[in-house]
Amino acid sequence: MEKYIKDFQEDRAVDFSQYYTDEACEKYNRPDKIAFSLIGDNPVYIMGQPTLLSAGEKGDTVRLKLQFSDSDTTGNINTYFISNHIISFENSEPVFLVNLDINTSPWKKKQIRNITFHYPEYHHFKSNQANKLIKKIDQLENNWDLSPEKIDYYFTKTRKEIQHIRGFDFNFYMGGNEVPTGLADVKDNLVFTSGLDESHFHEIVHIYLNKKYPDSPLKEGIAVYLGGSLGHELKWHLEKLNTFIKNNPETNIHNPRSFYYLDETTNPQYAIQGLLCYLAYQSGGTDELKKLMEYNTMKKIYTDYFNVTKGKENEFLRKQIKKLPVQ
Ligand SMILES: [Zn+2]
């Protein structure tokens, strides 16, 4: 375990085949579903220092519970997450098992077209909602000339449960109020979502389009534009931005450092990215969106695609938001 965590901390490419069963390595490119689930493509194990909270046997496995935290000079402890690690023995060599597979083994499954839905036993599957999602996927594939991706889609009612199945007892996404959440694991074509049942399209957009446009800085924008965010359509978020700019004429909304937080349900920079996608679509449909997604820097998107003079982005965005049709 210690060496495994050190591999991540020392920034070495971790060779999962040294630590996981062959079966897990065949099934997943990244069998550790804890490692890359909190801070994007950075491994969670670089946050703080690990403390072993408990170790015990269950059947023929050993279960470890680790806390990753650090403390400040006054002794206050900041805990990033508490995770569970299941160790089995293959030819008397220790190997990790995949929490996700073990925790969801009693779950129900339903496959429709290219999506396998995985959900807890208490849930009553809603076929009409799932079919609506499939319809959107079909449209996405047609509009963007993409072939179907085989996706495993895990959903729960609450965000605690969706973190729990991957192996967390606690992390900083598990507190706070209950809002819909989602995460796309693009490396292994997995979607994790809470609060939206069978209808979370945003993360599916990521699985298709992050692969097609890996260098686009608008990956979040296109997902918000096509699939909404945190349970609301882009329009809803833009109406909030509209109110914000009226009340805050001094804020440079283009600058993510001065405008990174609006409230719990709207990430303002994602909404602005979504707005740029909306504008491209308005000027020429999906063909224009495709052109926009080919750019690899925000700078070029403003200067070359939207013809905005450098330094005038804030004015440009404010003008576009004010012009939006209000309902
Ligand atoms: Zn997203």
Angle between helices 268-294 and 219-227 (to 10 degrees): 100
* DSSP run (H or E) holding 325: none
What is the C-alpha separation between 259 and 117, in angstroms, rounded? Answer: 37
DSSP assignment of 272-314: HHHHHHHHHHHHHHHHHHHHHHH---HHHIIIIIS-PPTT-HH
Mean pLDDT across the stretch 218-223? 97
Q: Which stretch of 229-233, 293-297, 310-314 has the lowest confidence by average pLDDT?
A: 229-233
Q: State whether residue 171 is helix, strand or coil.
A: strand
Beta bridge partners of 67: 51, 82
- Both ends of the chain: CA-CA distance in Å? 56
Closest CA to 226 of 149, 325, 140: 140
Q: Which residue did the predictor score with more confidence, 68 or 264?
A: 68
Report how far ligand 1's centroid is from the alpha carbon of 275 (Å): 15
Report how far ligand 1's centroid is from the alpha carbon of 219 (Å): 7
Tally of residues, the chain:
327
**pLDDT at res. 327:** 46
Report how far ligand 1's centroid is from the alpha carbon of 222 (Å): 9
Query: Cβ–Cβ contacts within 10 Å for residue 102, how many?
Result: 14
How does residue 326 score in pLDDT terms, banded at 50, 70 and 90?
low
Report how far ligand 1's centroid is from the alpha carbon of 122 (Å): 27
**pLDDT at res. 36:** 93
What is the C-alpha separation between 316 and 321, in angstroms, rounded? Answer: 9
Q: Are 84 and 169 a contacting pair, CB within 8 Å?
A: yes
Q: Is 81 exposed, middle or buried (0-12, 13-18, 19+ CB in 10 A)?
A: buried
C-alpha count within 13 angstroms, C-beta hemisphere, residue 267:
15
Report how far ligand 1's centroid is from the alpha carbon of 151 (Å): 16
Q: Which stretch of 57-61, 89-93, 106-110, 175-179 has the lowest confidence by average pLDDT?
A: 175-179
Query: Cβ–Cβ contacts within 10 Å for residue 52, how many?
Result: 11
Report how far ligand 1's centroid is from the alpha carbon of 223 (Å): 6
**pLDDT at res. 183:** 94
pTM for this model (two decimals): 0.93
Which residues have C-beta within 8 Å of that of residue 264, sequence separation ≥ 6?
176, 177, 179
Q: Which stretch of 109-118, 142-151, 263-272, 292-301 has the lowest confidence by average pLDDT?
A: 263-272
| Predicted confidence (pLDDT) at residue 41 exceeds the cutoff of 90 | no
The token pair that represents 177 in the structure block: 């109020």
Report how far ligand 1's centroid is from the alpha carbon of 89 (Å): 37
pLDDT digits (tens, 9 = 90+) for 111-156: 999 999 999 999 999 999 999 999 999 999 999 999 999 999 999 9
CA distances 82 to 27, 194, 216, 228, Å, are 25, 20, 33, 30
Q: Are 44 and 81 a contacting pair, CB within 8 Å?
A: yes
What is the C-alpha separation between 228 and 234, in angstroms, rounded? Answer: 5
pLDDT digits (tens, 9 = 90+) for 167-220: 999 998 887 788 888 999 999 999 999 999 999 999 999 999 999 999 999 999
Q: State whether residue 217 is helix, strand or coil.
A: coil
| Predicted confidence (pLDDT) at residue 12 exceeds the cutoff of 80 | no
Report how far ligand 1's centroid is from the alpha carbon of 76 (Å): 33
**pLDDT at res. 23:** 94
Which residue type occupies 107?
W
Query: Cβ–Cβ contacts within 10 Å for residue 141, how many?
Result: 15
CA distances 246 to 32, 46, 239, Å, are 46, 41, 11
What DSSP state is assigned to residue 79?
E
What is the C-alpha separation between 317 and 314, in angstroms, rounded? Answer: 5
**pLDDT at res. 13:** 78
Report how far ligand 1's centroid is from the alpha carbon of 3 (Å): 32
